[in-house]
């Protein structure tokens, strides 16, 4: 879907604050509420807007440890990857997972309360997944930038 200038502006505003009323959104975009509402609905129906969420401060809910885990699988077959994906998708600690090209097959991003929780996660969950051959973890020292808004 090719975006026009009004749609881009609507998306920019909603990415920063999805609680804006249609009236406020329309005022900021420079259109009347009804066409603005229709544009938002069109983008929702087209799947451009997947949903609306509350962004939670992970530190304030006790998830101060951010860990990246690189995973190498034992085999490169569709069924191995499918089984791995199913297990990972069911794990709340994994907030992002990517299949990669190169030496690493998958990259996981975890939010955990502590390094002790990482040890527990690794021993009681990740290393018990039979499809995994090797893992390598990196713990973030501090967060420099973490944006949710896409550059439109």
80 and 35 within one domain: no
pLDDT of residue 109: 98
The 10s digit of each residue's pLDDT in 12-31 is 999 999 999 999 999 999 99
pLDDT of residue 52: 96
103 and 65 within one domain: yes
| 51, part of any domain | no
**Cα distance between residue 89 and residue 127, in whole Å:** 16
Q: Is the pLDDT of residue 1 over 90?
A: no
pTM above 0.75, yes or no: yes
CATH number at residue 86: 3.30.70.920
The two three-digit tokens of residue 147, written as one number: 């944006």
**In the chain, how many domains are there?**
2
The 10s digit of each residue's pLDDT in 43-60 is 999 999 999 999 999 999
65 and 12 within one domain: no
31 and 73 within one domain: no
| 148, part of any domain | no
Cβ–Cβ < 8 Å for 118, 137: yes
The 10s digit of each residue's pLDDT in 99-147 is 999 999 999 999 999 999 999 999 999 999 999 999 999 999 999 999 9
111 and 65 within one domain: yes
CA dist 39 → 29, 43, 145 (Å): 11, 6, 31
| 150, part of any domain | no
**79: pLDDT confidence band, cut at 50, 70 and 90?**
very high
**76: pLDDT confidence band, cut at 50, 70 and 90?**
confident
- Residue range(s) defining the domain that contains residue 19: 5-45
118 and 79 within one domain: yes
DSSP E strands in the chain: the ranges are 65-73, 94-99, 106-112, 132-139
Number of neighbours of residue 25 by Cβ within 10 angstroms: 21
| 149, part of any domain | no
66 and 32 within one domain: no
**38: pLDDT confidence band, cut at 50, 70 and 90?**
very high
| 151, part of any domain | no
| 35, part of any domain | yes
Q: Is the pLDDT of residue 32 over 90?
A: yes
């Amino acid at each position: 879907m090719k975006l026009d200038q009004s749609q881009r502006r609507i998306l920019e505003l909603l990415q920063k604050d999805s609680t804006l009323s249609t009236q406020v959104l329309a005022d900021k975009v420079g259109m009347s509420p009804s066409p603005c509402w229709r544009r938002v609905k069109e983008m929702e129906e087209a799947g451009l807007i997947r949903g609306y969420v509350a962004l939670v401060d992970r530190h304030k809910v006790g998830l101060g440890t951010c860990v990246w885990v690189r995973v190498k699988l034992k085999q490169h077959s569709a069924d191995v990857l499918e089984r791995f994906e199913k297990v990972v998708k069911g794990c709340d600690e994994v907030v992002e997972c990517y299949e990669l090209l190169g030496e690493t097959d998958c990259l996981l991003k975890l939010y955990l309360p502590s390094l002790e929780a990482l040890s527990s996660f690794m021993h009681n969950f990740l290393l018990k997944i039979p499809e995994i051959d090797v893992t390598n973890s990196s713990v973030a020292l501090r967060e420099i930038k973490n944006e949710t808004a896409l550059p439109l």
